[in-house]
Amino acid sequence: MTKRVGIEVSLAVAEAARLANVDVVSAYPITPQTHIVERLAEMVANGELDAEFIPVESEHSAMSACLGSAAVGARTFTATAGQGLELMHEVLYIATAMRLPIVMAVANRALSGPLNVWGDHSDVMATRDVGWIQVFAENGQEAFDLTLWAFRVAEDPGVLLPTMVNLDGFTLTHVIEPMMLLDEAEVKRFLPPNHYPLPLNPAKPVTMGAFATPVHYTEAKKAQEMALTQAKTTMLKAWQEFADLFGRHYHPVETYRAEDARVLLLTMGSFGETASVAVDELRARGEKVGLVKLRMWRPFPFEELRHAVQHTDVLAVLDRALSPGGPGGPVCSEVKSALYMQEKKPKVFGFIGGLGGRDMTPEDFEALIMRARDMAHKGMESEFEMIGVRE
Amino acid sequence: MPKLPSWREYEIGCIVTQPGSARAYRTGDWRSQRPIWKNERCIKCGLCYIFCPEGCIRGRKDGYFEADLFYCKGCGICPRECPTGAISMVEETE
């Protein structure tokens, strides 16, 4: 039976992996992800989870071991954060190219330097183009649900792609929330066994990860691109199945009080919850403002985004990562790109904030939304602004 | 040249289901020079056979050696290692 419990979000993510009955966990501890794999190691040691826990010497090895594990058809989970994700970087592309359904939780963290272990999105933005399915959780319940959902999607015979569930470091990972957890029987109804179609098997030898000469590489890349964009159908279907079974609904782009809004703010991850408090406050003062939350980052939900912002005049986009010397934040530049060909589109203003664990309060979000409105009123042009910087 | 496959025709993850398919790959295409043997200087020591990184040098029934030009990449290691100078590289003109 579904039970409502108070649990640290990291432990709930570990519980999701246990409920998925993973076969292999290969991971290296790194703040703020450590509690996830620490709990999984404990479960394996205590016999609560019948899995191999591979205590590797680095994240590069963690992901490499995940490749081997997924290649034999074992259900495979790992988790990392910040520098750990960067150390995995080259192996992430291999997981995509080999179409291995690895599920990974990323406790989003700033990148060095300066050394900083706190939350932002620099780590995941640096892995934007690795070809993984990438989604963001706004709270602990979503982190739990999306982790289970990720196995369902990644291992689907029509998808077979590695899947990354992003949850903000500390803001989510280290917070105790009331959550509705599921039990084994419920999870079984949602998540079928993993059957990788061409596993490594001595009885039927195959070669995985062969090199591709120039006459094959482009076709391989095209197949990867099509697999990722077409995965969206299964992602939506799996969210619908999840909703039918457990009553919690997920969408690629979600909105809050956005229907008649003249000014919209777009966020990803846990900032959505704080920003919704700011939206309530501004609405109480009669401001027509609302919120757009991007859950699906890869594949990018072009249609849903365009639909969500089609009636607004101003769209403020908050990035928790900087593209140095470039167009500001990666989310904003993609949002602008998605809207460029639209005849009617809002004025888009990019903001960079919440870097390296810098807190953003509801008042900060109010100021941000009003700043975007004022910039539009004054006809100001701006590539982006870094907010909250001391001069 | 056989017809190349469409992107739709590759196995998932470009998995190769035919073991030993590398055998059909003509690495000899990479070659700009090929080794030739002067058998009158050859002492049949087999160092060329041992050192060939491609494994494409084979011993003949008469005890002398030759390279399988389907695979020989023309790296030049065999003349370098030959103790009697029996092997030399010549420009490919084919």
Compute the average pLDDT of residues A351-369. 97
Nearest chain B Cα distance for residue A154, angstroms: 14
pLDDT tens for B71-80 read 999 999 999 9
Put simply, the answer to whether B14 touches A97 (Cβ < 8 Å) is: yes
Tokens of B20: 């030993």
φ/ψ of residue A76, rounded to 5: -125, 135
Nearest chain A Cα distance for residue B50, angstroms: 26
Q: In this model, does residue A228 exceed pLDDT 90? A: yes
pLDDT tens for A17-35 read 999 999 999 999 999 999 9
B5 inside domain: no
Q: Does B24 touch chain A (CB under 8 A)?
A: no
| Helix H or strand E encompassing A370 | helix A362-377
If one counts every other C-beta atom within 10 angstroms of the C-beta of residue B80, the result is 11
B18 inside domain: no
Residue B22 confidence class, pLDDT cut points 50, 70, 90: confident
Tokens of B21: 């398919």
Q: In this model, does residue B1 exceed pLDDT 70? A: no
Query: Is A287 exposed, middle or buried, given 0-12, 13-18 or 19+ CB atoms closer than 10 A?
Result: middle
Residue A143 confidence class, pLDDT cut points 50, 70, 90: very high
Would the CATH topology of A3-246 be identical to that of A253-386?
yes
Instruction: Give the three-class secondary structure for A53.
Output: strand
If one counts every other C-beta atom within 10 angstroms of the C-beta of residue A195, the result is 9
Q: In this model, does residue A239 exceed pLDDT 70? A: yes
DSSP calls for chain B: -PPPPPGGGSPGGG-B-STTGGGG--GGGG-SEEEEE-TTT-----HHHHH-TT--EEE-TTS-EEE-TTT-----HHHHH-TT--EEEEE---
Looking at residue A3, what is its pLDDT?
A: 77
Domains contained in chain B, number: 1
Put simply, the answer to whether A207 touches B4 (Cβ < 8 Å) is: no
Q: In this model, does residue A164 exceed pLDDT 60? A: yes
Looking at residue A167, what is its pLDDT?
A: 98
Looking at residue A1, what is its pLDDT?
A: 55
| Distance, CA of A235 to CA of A227 (rounded, Å) | 12
Range of the domain at B57: 25-91
CATH of the domain at B38: 3.30.70.20
Q: What angle do CA A253, A258, A264 make, to 5 degrees?
A: 85
B30 inside domain: yes
| Distance, CA of A163 to CA of A147 (rounded, Å) | 9
How many residues make up chain B in this entry?
Answer: 94
Compute the average pLDDT of residues A96-100. 98
Q: In this model, does residue B56 exceed pLDDT 90? A: yes
B51 inside domain: yes
B39 inside domain: yes
| Distance, CA of A317 to CA of A303 (rounded, Å) | 17
Q: In this model, does residue A2 exceed pLDDT 90? A: no
* Residue A268 neighbours by CB under 8 Å, 6+ apart: A121, A136, A293, A294, A295, A297, A320, A331
Put simply, the answer to whether A210 touches B16 (Cβ < 8 Å) is: yes
Helix, strand, coil percentages for chain A (3-state, nearest 5): 45, 20, 40
Looking at residue A251, what is its pLDDT?
A: 98
A253-386: what fold?
Rossmann fold (3.40.50)
| Distance, CA of A25 to CA of A125 (rounded, Å) | 24
* Residue with tokens 């009553």, as numbered in its chain: A247
Put simply, the answer to whether B14 touches A212 (Cβ < 8 Å) is: yes
Q: In this model, does residue B2 exceed pLDDT 80? A: no
Nearest chain A Cα distance for residue B19, angstroms: 6
Compute the average pLDDT of residues B10-31. 91
Q: Which residues of A224-234 are buried (b: 16+ CB within 10 A; e: fewer)?
A: beebbeebbeb
pLDDT tens for A294-343 read 999 999 999 999 999 999 999 999 999 999 999 999 999 999 999 999 99
Using a pLDDT cut of 70, give the percent of chain A over it. 99
Looking at residue B94, what is its pLDDT?
A: 53
Indicate the domain borders of chain A. 3-246, 253-386
* Residue A129 neighbours by CB under 8 Å, 6+ apart: none
* Residue with tokens 């700043």, as numbered in its chain: A371
| Distance, CA of B37 to CA of B24 (rounded, Å) | 26
Compute the average pLDDT of residues A283-288. 98
Instruction: Identify which of A145, A102, A132 has the alpha carbon closest to the alpha carbon of residue A13.
Output: A145
B4 inside domain: no
Q: Does B3 touch chain A (CB under 8 A)?
A: no
Compute the average pLDDT of residues A224-233. 98
- Within 8 A of B19 by CB-CB distance, chain A residues are 205-207
* Residue A56 neighbours by CB under 8 Å, 6+ apart: A26, A27, A28, A62, A65
- Within 8 A of A97 by CB-CB distance, chain B residues are 13-14
- Within 8 A of B14 by CB-CB distance, chain A residues are 97-98, 210, 212, 216, 220, 223
- Within 8 A of B6 by CB-CB distance, chain A residues are 219
Put simply, the answer to whether A100 touches B13 (Cβ < 8 Å) is: yes
pLDDT tens for A176-217 read 999 999 999 999 999 999 999 999 999 999 999 998 989 999
A3-246: what fold?
Rossmann fold (3.40.50)
